[in-house]
Structure 1
Amino acid sequence: MSRSPSESPAGSVSAAVPRPPVRALRDLPVSAQGLGCLPTTDFYGRPDRARATATIRAAVDAGVTLLDTADVQGLGAGEELLGRAVAGRRDEVLIATKFGMVRSSDGAFQGLCGEPSYVRAACERSLRRLGTDRIDLYYQHWTDPAVPIEETVGAVAELVREGKVRRLGLSEPSAATLRRADAVHPVTAVQSEWSLWSRGIEDEVVPVCRELGIGIVAYAPLGRGFLTGTIRTTDDLGDEDFRRGQPRFSAPALARNRSLLHRLRPVADGLGLTLAQLALAWLHHRGEDVVPIPGTANPAHLADNLAAASIRLDDRSLAEVTAAISHPVSGERYTPALLAMIGN
C-alpha cells in the first residue's frame, strides 16, 4: 500500500506520487481526483495565499485537471486566486465554478438566485475574475425554488452555445430536479457532499445519475477535515472558521463522532494508510463515475490525498470500512436554515 508522500522543498508534490488516472464526467475526461479550492479562501480561517497558490500549481504539476471553486468563496477572491495560479497553463486544466448563492459585500448570505439574467451576469463576473474566456463546468450552487429549473438551465444552455461555458453541472439537486434539468440540457456532473459520514445522496440521487449517465463529484470527501483525524475538539478550529457554526462540529457532536475515527483507524493502520487516504480510497471504489475533490491549501496534504487515487482496497478491507461506518453520525452537516435550501 502507498505511504504518505513527502513535500519537496519547493512545495511541489513528490514525483513518487502516481499521477491520478483519468475518469469521465459524462463525456468530459477529468483526473480521477480533483482539487477543491475552498480552503484557499476564508471559510476555514485566513489562508496563506502564497501557499495556497503553490498548492494549486503543485496539483496541476501532479496531473490534477479538475480545479473547483465558486463565486461565493471569498466573495470572488477564490476565483481570482485560481485564475492567477493557472495563468499560462489554462489549457492544462478544467475550471469548475458555481453561481446562484448570493452574498452581500460584507459576506452575509442573502439567499439563492436562478433568474436567467442573474446567471448571465454571474458568469461574466466569474470569467473576469478567473481571467479566462470559458468556464469548463458551470454549476448551479443549490437550486432556487422560486425559479423553475428549466429557466435556469436554459440560461446556462445559452452560455454553452456562446462558448462561455462548456458543460452544465448542478450542486446538491434532488433526483426530481435533476431529471427535469437534464431534459432541457445535458447535465455533465452533480456535485454533492459524499463521504464516510455523509451518505445522503446514495438512495436517490446516485441511482438517477447512473441512469442518465451523469458524473458525480464528491465535495467534502474528508468530512471537512474531520476524517483526517486532526479535528478533535472545537479548539482545533479557528475563531472565524465556518465549521464552528455547523451542528456536526459542535463540541458534543465532535466528542460522539470520535468513535467513528476509533473504528476506522485500525483499518487504516492495518493497510499502511492515513485516515484521509482510507476515506478517499473508499470513495474511489464507489464507481468509475465518482470524482472526489478534497480541498486543501497545503502541498503536503495534497500529496497525501493524491496517493489515494491509486490505492486498491480488497473486499475484506471494504467490508471492514462498511462495518466501521454503520453507526449513526451525530449532528447534521449544516444548520437547519441551510439544509432547507438543499435538495430542491
Structure 2
Amino acid sequence: MTMEYRHIAGTDLKLSVITFGSWAAGSWMWGKTDRNDAIAAIRAACDLGVTSIDTAPVYGQGDSENIVGEAISGISRDKVQILTKFGLRWDAPEGKGKFFFKSQDNDGKPIDIVRYAGKESVIAECEASLKRLKTDYIDLYQIHWPDKSTPMEETFDAVGRLIEQGKVRYAGVSNYTAAQMAEAEKILPIVSNQIPFSMINRGIEAETVPYCIEHNKAILAYSPLERGVLTGKIKPGHVFAEGDHRADYRFYTDENLVKINAFLEKLKPLAEAKNATLAQLVLRWTIDRPGITIALAGARNAAQATANAHAVDIALDPDEIAFIDENLPEI
C-alpha cells in the first residue's frame, strides 16, 4: 500500500489522509483499552505511513497523550505530526469556564468537564501536553470546543504567544461553526477545523464545508465511522461495556441501528467487490468527499489500525460514489 498525504494550506504540514485518532486509546468514555495494545496500534499505523496522530489532554485525563508520547518515542520527530487540543478541563480553576458535562475519570470517580480557554489556562495546558507527549513542540494546536465564557481574543492571543515561542507551529479549531472560524481568523491565522462528519452525520456540508473550501481551510473529519456504527458490527440490542458513552449516543438507538444497517447492507456488495471491509469503504468515501482533508480513525489494537490504514488501497469511481451518495440515509 502507499499512504496518501494532503497539504494543509498556509503551512508546511502534510497529513496522512488516515490520521490516527487516539480518543479510545485513553480508555475514557469508550470502556477500557489496554495500554500496550494502544501503543502497538499507533506504532502499526506509523509503520504503514500514518504520520499524523490526534489526541487531547481530556482523553483519559492525560492518559492518551502519555500513550502517544510513548508510542512515538522511537520515531524521528520530523516524521510525525502531533495534533492535540486545549480548552476542555477536568481540573479547571474554581469559578472559571463554563460547565460542559458530567463524566467519570478512569477510576470511576465523578468529574465535571468544563470549557475553559483563558490565557493562563491555555499556556498551562500546552506545557502539560508537551511533557506528556515528550516533545518540545506541537504541530497543530486546536481549541477543543468554543469557550463562550472567555473573549476569543484572549484565547487566540495566548495561542499566538505559543507560536512565537516555538511551542506550537500552527493553530486550528475544533467543533467551530463557519461564523466562529471567521471570527477567530480575524485574530490569528486558523488553518483547520476538526469537526464531526460521516455518511450519517453530514450537517457541516450546509455552511462549514463551503466556508472551508472558499477560504482554503482544512477539515479534519472526526468520527467518520460514527463511533463504530458504520462498521456494520453493531446490531439492535447491542450491550456496551460499562463506561462506554455510545450506549446513550443517538445513532445507537435500536430504531436508528435498523436504518443504518439496512443502508450498510446495500454497500456490502461494493465493499466485497473491492475486497474491503465496510469500514474501509466508509473511510475511502470520507476522504474523497469534497472539502474533507483527512479522516481521523481510532483503533484499540494493531489489527484495527492496520485495517484503517489500508482504506487508501480502495479506489472509487464516479459511478460508485454516485451509488453511495444516492443511498445515504437521513437519520
**What TM-score do the two structures reach when normalised by structure 2?**
0.89
8 A contact 2:193–2:218 mirrored in 1: yes
Match of 2:295 in 1: 292
Aligned to 2:330: 328
Assess if the C-alpha contact under 8 Å between 2:115 and 2:146 holds in 1: yes
TM-score (norm 1): 0.86
**How far 1:322 sits from its partner (Å)?**
0.6
- Counterpart of 2:47 in structure 1: which amino acid? D
Extract unaligned runs of 5+ from structure 1. 1-17, 330-344
Instruction: Structure 2: state its 5+ residue gaps.
Output: 92-104
Q: Distance in 1 between matches of 2:327 and 2:292?
A: 24
CA shift, 1:234, in A, is 4.8
Which residue of the partner structure matches residue 200 of structure 2?
197
Contact 2:82 2:138 in 1 (8 A): yes
Aligned to 1:72, the other structure's residue is in SS state: coil
Matched residue, 1:48 = 34
> 1:166 — aligned with what?
169
| Alpha-carbon distance in structure 1 between the residues aligned to 2:203 and 2:176 | 12
Residue 217 of structure 2 corresponds to residue 217 of structure 1: no
Preserved contact between residue 234 and residue 244 of structure 1 (Cα < 8 Å): no
1:25 aligns with 2:8: yes
The 3 A distance-change label for structure 1 pair 107 and 38 is: farther
Q: Tell me the secondary structure at the aligned position of residue 6 of structure 2.
A: strand
Corresponding letter in the other structure for 1:177? Q
- Check whether the contact 2:31–2:242 (CA below 8 A) recurs between aligned residues: yes
- Across the aligned residues of Structure 1 and Structure 2, the Cα RMSD in angstroms comes to 1.7
Q: Which runs of 4+ in 1 moved over 6 A?
A: none
CA distance in 2, matches of 1:185, 1:107: 36
State the partner residue of 1:92.
Answer: 79
SS at match of 1:34: strand
Task: Give the Cα–Cα distance (whole angstroms) in 2 for the partners of residues 95 and 166 of structure 1.
Answer: 10
Q: Is the 8 A contact 1:296 1:302 kept in 2?
A: yes
How far residue 41 of structure 1 moved from its aligned partner, in angstroms, is 1.7
Confirm or deny: 8 A CA contact 2:209 2:291 kept in the other structure: no
Distance in 2 of aligned mates of 1:185 and 1:165:
13
Measure, in 2, the Cα distance between the counterparts of 1:110 and 1:30: 30
Native 8 Å contact 1:142 1:172 kept in 2: yes
Aligned length: 311
Counterpart CA distance in 2 for 1:209 and 1:134 is 26
> Tell me, what secondary structure is at the counterpart of 2:204?
coil
67-76 vs 297-306, greater mean Cα deviation:
297-306
Question: What amino acid maps onto 2:85 in structure 1?
Answer: K
Query: Mapping of 1:230-309 within 5 angstroms?
Result: 230-287=233-290, 290-309=293-312
Deviation at 1:239, TM superposition (A): 2.0
CA separation in 2, counterparts of 1:39 and 1:178? 27
Give, as a single letter, the amino acid of the residue that structure 2 aligns with 1:68. Answer: D
Higher RCO structure (Cα 8 Å, ≥6 apart): 1
Deviation of 1:39 after TM superposition, in Å, equals 1.7
Distance across 1 between alignment mates of 2:37 and 2:172:
29
- Match in the other structure for 1:177: 180
- The residue aligned with 1:103 is 90
